[in-house]
Structures are given as C-alpha cells and as structure tokens.
Amino acid sequence: MRRIISFSSADSGSSTAVIRNVKVERLKSQAMAKAEQTKEDMMDAASKEAVSMLVDDCKQQIDDKADEVQEAAKERKEEEKEEEKEALPGTKDQ
C-alpha cells in the first residue's frame, strides 16, 4: 500500500510540474502573439504615416508648381501690357 501511495505522490508531483510548464508555455506563446500583433499594428500605422507624408509632399509640389505657373503667366501678361504701351506712343509719333 505504501508503494502505491508513494508512486501516486511522485506521479501527481510530476503531473503538477507538467501542468505548470504547460501554463508557462501558454503564457509565453500568448505574450509572443500579442507582441506580434502589436508589431503588425505599428507597421500598419507607420505605413499609413509614410503614405500620408508622401501624399502631402506631392500636394505641396503641385501647389508650388501651380504658383510658379501663375506667377509666370502674370509676369508675361505684364510684359505684354508694357510692350503694348511702348508700341502705342511710337505709332502716334509717326
């Protein structure tokens, strides 16, 4: 009878250790899964931020180019007015 009891005690002790190890491994895997999800979330956020920055940069470049074109058109129009003013008095003098 003592042999059976001592065997049961040893067996239950090893079973407890196995259960404890399984719980520890489960916690480790859950932590790794959470870390992986956090990493993916951070990568998604970084990608969205990078795309947003590129879009903003492109918009700024387009706006700058449009401003340059408008300024050039304005200067050209002023030059044409100056040429017309210079041409008109010359025709009256002749």
- Residue-wise pLDDT tens digits, 31-62: 999 999 999 999 999 999 999 999 999 999 99
Predicted structure pTM score: 0.52
Looking at residue 89, its pLDDT comes to: 65
Looking at residue 47, its pLDDT comes to: 96
Provide the pLDDT confidence category of residue 94 given band limits of 50, 70 and 90. very low
Token pair in block for residue 86: 């210079």
Q: What is the DSSP string of 41-82?
A: HHHHHHHHHHHHHHHHHHHHHHHHHHHHHHHHHHHHHHHHHH
pLDDT in tens, 3-34: 554 545 556 668 888 889 998 898 889 999 99
